[in-house]
Every structure is written in C-alpha cells, then in structure tokens.
Amino acid sequence: MPLLGIIGTGMIGSSVGLAARQRGWNVLGYDVFTLSAGLAIDAGAVERVASRDEIYAACEVIVIAAHVAATIDELAALRLRSLRDDQLVIDVASVKAPIIRAAAGMHAFVATHPMAGSERSGPQAARADLFTERTWCYVPGEDAARTERARSLIEGFGAVPFAVDAQEHDAIVALTSHLPQLLAYAFTQRVGDLRAAHDPALVDALCGPAARELLRLGRSSPQMWNDIFAANGEAVQGELERLQRAIDDRRLSG
C-alpha cells in the first residue's frame, strides 16, 4: 500500500490522514507536540507516530500541515535532505507567496491550500469528509509531473483541484477568507462587551444567523490566524481600508 506522511497532526493534518486512510493509504504522523500525535492515533488519522527522518525516508507523499511560519521553517530544513524522484511534498498553508519563495528550486514540492476548515482545532476535530467537494488550490510547481500528482492527490481526496498563481491567491483570500476572520474576532469581542452590559441571554437571543456565524469563526485558533495575518498583513490591511471606503460610500449615498 502507498505510504503517506503528515508533518503536523492538527485538525487539517489529521483530516488529511483520515481521508487518506479511507482511500487505502498507510499513514505515518509526526508532531512537535507528542500529545497531538497520540490524539491523531486515537482519532484514526495515523497508524503510528514516526520521526521526521523516517517520514522523509519512507513516504511517497509528505504533507506539511503546519502554520505558515512553521511551514517555512520545515521547507528550510528540507533543503538539507535528499528526496527521491518518486517523492512528492505538499503543504496546506493559507498563504502561498511566502511559501513559494521559501521553496524556490525545490522540484519535489507543490504548494497547496484546501479551502476547508473549522473553528475547532486538534486531531479530535478532524473529519474524513472535510475536503469533499471543497476547492483545494494548488500552485503549479517547477516539476510538471509532480504538479499533476498533486492535482490527482487532491482530486482523490474528494476535493476540487484549482490551479492558482501564488500572488493572486493571496490577494484574493485577503478579502474572501482572512478579512472575514479578522472581523469575526473584532465582532466577537464587541458581543462580549454587549453581554457584559446587558442580559447575556437577551443578547444571545437577538443574534441573527450572520452574527452566529461570525461568533463561530471568532472561536478559531488565534495562534494560527495571527500567523496568517502576519504573513498576508499588507493585503489584509488594503482590503480593510477598501471595505471602510465601501461602508462610507454606502452611508453617504443612503
């Protein structure tokens, strides 16, 4: 059976593991936090914990499922390794341009980003169907054959592969993904202030569907999102300013 290795057994990494095992892959997992790796075994996402060295030596496909900064660190370390011609390495980070810069000249690597997630974190939140019928972007890499393998792998996980340019990806998700999350954190803080000043039950009762969705997003991991905001901060700031102008225009025209 084919062997897949996961570097980072959080919610996304463990969901990759569940999807892979459901499709006949053997899966090894590594995480700097041993508790997370153990929970990934309990969740059925990986068959056993392995070292980085074993994963890179044994696995045909390696998925780096870490935050942006940690993914860049992993790519820097990967430059010191020799990979076989049959190996493919992908990432799942939410920002692509810094990843592409870090991976320049690495023919085994293809940058990807599944447009799927959850406000919950950790292996216990993983789902085998997380990627089903969801867009999974990939940036065509330096090796056409490996790019096609990545596209085929994504499709095999039930997702919809979508080729993107890294810079264009980051510019678009600044508005469609990153800014909504920033607003969700600010909105959640304001609702907390409101609950402190009024009957909390009344505030909760008067939250409509949009408010509840923002509050759900507001429970997402700040550590992960702070990393994303730092990596794509200029684009997010630009979209925030354009959104403010759009709000001002609408108020003035009303």
Name the maximum alpha-carbon separation found in the chain: 63
In one-letter notation, the amino acid at residue 230 is: A
pLDDT, one tens digit per residue, over 152-196 is 999 999 999 999 999 999 999 999 999 999 999 999 999 999 999
What is the extent of the structural domain holding 230?
168-253
Here the CATH number for the domain that contains residue 58 is 3.40.50.720
Contact predicate 30/51, CB 8 Å:
yes
User: Are 135 and 10 within one domain?
Assistant: yes
Packing angle of the helix pair 222-231, 179-197 (nearest 10 deg): 140
Q: Are 17 and 42 in contact (CB under 8 A)?
A: no
Give the count of domains, the chain. Answer: 2
> Last residue of a domain, which of 164, 196, 231?
164
CATH number at residue 213: 1.10.3660.10
Side-chain half-sphere of 56: how many Cα atoms within 13 Å?
Answer: 16
> Where among 129, 164, 199 does a domain terminate?
164
Q: Are residue 196 and residue 149 in the same domain, yes or no?
A: no
Helix (H) or strand (E) holding 38: helix 34-42
160 and 201 in one domain?
no
Whether 135 and 177 map to the same domain: the answer is no
Chain position carrying tokens 């700031």: 237
Tell me what the pLDDT averaged over the chain comes to: 95
Both 68 and 114 in a single domain? yes
pLDDT at 218 exceeding the cut of 90: yes
Give me the percent of the chain exceeding a pLDDT of 90.
92
Q: Using CA atoms, how far apart are residues 189 and 213, in angstroms rounded to an integer?
A: 14
Find out whether 236 and 179 touch, Cβ atoms under 8 Å. Answer: yes
Task: State yes or no: pLDDT of 144 exceeds 70.
Answer: yes
* Cα distances (Å, whole numbers) of residue 121 to 109, 125, 131: 26, 6, 16
User: What is this structure's pTM?
Assistant: 0.93
Residue with tokens 């341009």: 97
Task: Write down which residue in 117, 136, 164 finishes a domain.
Answer: 164
pLDDT category of residue 253 using cuts at 50, 70 and 90: low
Indicate if the pLDDT at residue 16 is higher than 90.
yes
Residues 104 and 127 reside in one and the same domain? yes
